[in-house]
Amino acid sequence: MASTASAIQAPKGTRDILPAESARWQAIERIARELATLYHFDEIRTPIFEHSELFHRGVGETTDIVSKETYTFSDREDRSLTLRPEGTAGVVRAVIEAGLLNDQGARVKVFYIGPNFRCEKPQKGRYRQHHQFGVETLGIAEADADVECILLQMEFYRRCGVKDLALRINSLGDAESKQRYRDALVKFISPAASTLSEESQRRLASNPLRILDSKDERDIKAIRGAPPAAEYLSEASAKHFTRARDLLGKANVPFTVDGTLVRGFDYYTGIVWEVTAAGLGAQNAIGGGGRYDNLVEMLGGRATPGVGFGSGLERLLIALEEQGVAIDTRQRPLVWLVSLGDAARDANWQLMQQLRAAGVRCDMDPTGRSAKSQFKLADREKAAWSVTTGDSELAGGTVSLKNLASGEQTSVPRDQIVAKLQSV
């Protein structure tokens, strides 16, 4: 630690995934990939930065995420670029650009796992770089696609072992329904505008629907008795919502309809949903999604409906941790080679190559420490087996194989040890 230069720290709100935790990440990412593939979604990987315009047009100028939380910078050619704050806009941009929606009736089902960036003040479950697993279905307008996404999402949580989940859904309807409801809401709230919180007074003009899910007492009071969104749904939107609830019921997925659920991004049009989990503190949304039937067109593609969700992986891991859920991070057993003397060390160096070539996970300490120290290391590294070589083994053409859990040690001919360890 004695260094003259001051140590550089990770940027605020970012975290290193250290060796002790990476197995947990790999485990949930593996579950996500297997499950998405099972539901016939293919992986897509898009850049972590995009032209800033993409998020302004796609996610929306009035959303906090775009208006005050992006990491935006100019490159050497003076183009404005932004680290992606969410996954959907980039995926839709990529799908349009690759022409995957150009055929009539084309559909695309993709999933992604990767980092997003938002310059917020960090707190529990909220980081400046966070990771999401998400899926998008493009080209299917039916509620079946919405419900497929929700089922996949809930099954993901089930397989990871999260408990105490709550699914809430709502529908603000298509663009026309949303506009009608927006007008009605403004009309209802306006007489009491001066009693709203400062933030909501601003939102009354820019994004009045957001006032619905404000936690501010003044806002809650002002919207009491406000007309429900359901009354302003077009016939098509109402039908869509009904079918979605019906399908969820038949799939035995518990949910509640929450008329105050309004999700942040401008591109949402019909159904939106959110899943919360116990153990997360104030940031208790573990994932959310919704339908965005205008986004593809807004981004320059042929008008195509879309639906998807994003799920925060840090929050998932926090919930699992807080709930005391064990994640299966088992690896193949580790073999530790113990060398007593230089000749033995050289022999073990060769043996280690043979074992690795044969698929046996193994390691050794090359620093010439005492047998005791080498066994302590094996113990600390959670090795299952030790293979000891010393003068007597070299003379006899054997190694000493020890089961470190039971302490039992046997002599094995040197030319049989690789095959023997392959079979344990």
Partner RNA sequence: GUGGCCGUAGCUCAGUUGGCAGAGCGCCAGGUUGUGGUCCUGGACGUCGCGGGUUCGAGUCCCGUCGGUCACCCCA
Give, rounded to a whole angstrom, the gap between the first and last alpha carbons of the chain: 41
DSSP secondary structure, 342-408, as one string: HHHHHHHHHHHHHHHHTT--EEE--S---HHHHHHHHHHTT-SEEEEE-HHHHHHTEEEEEETTT--
Q: Is 218 in the site for RNA (CB under 7 A)?
A: no
Whichever of 12 and 187 has its CB closer to RNA, that residue is 12
- The window from 9-17, 98-106, 186-194, 224-232 that contacts RNA (CB under 7 A) reads 9-17
Q: How far is the CB of 409 from RNA (least distance, A)?
A: 6
Q: Is 224 in the site for RNA (CB under 7 A)?
A: no
C-alpha 157/C-alpha 136 separation (Å) is 18
Q: State which of residues 314, 317, 348, 360 lies at the interface with RNA (CB under 7 A).
A: 314
Segment 390 to 409, residues that bind RNA, using CB under 7 A: 390-393, 400, 402, 404-407, 409
Helix ranges (DSSP H) in 124-226: 143-160, 175-189, 198-206, 217-222
Closest CA to 135 of 300, 302, 293, 287: 287
Segment 140 to 199, residues that bind RNA, using CB under 7 A: 199
Two structure tokens written together for 152: 């996949």
Q: State which of residues 179, 195, 373, 422 lies at the interface with RNA (CB under 7 A).
A: 373
Closest CA to 110 of 397, 363, 309, 398: 309
- How many CB atoms are closer than 10 A to CB 25? 17
Q: Is 283 in the site for RNA (CB under 7 A)?
A: yes
Whichever of 294 and 388 has its CB closer to RNA, that residue is 388
Q: State which of residues 19, 20, 75, 121 lies at the interface with RNA (CB under 7 A).
A: 121
Q: State which of residues 32, 347, 377, 417 lies at the interface with RNA (CB under 7 A).
A: 377
Q: State which of residues 90, 135, 312, 417 lies at the interface with RNA (CB under 7 A).
A: 312
Question: What mask of x and - would describe binding to RNA in positions 68 to 107, judged by CB under 7 A?
Answer: -x----------------x---------------------
Q: State which of residues 27, 49, 64, 253 lies at the interface with RNA (CB under 7 A).
A: 64
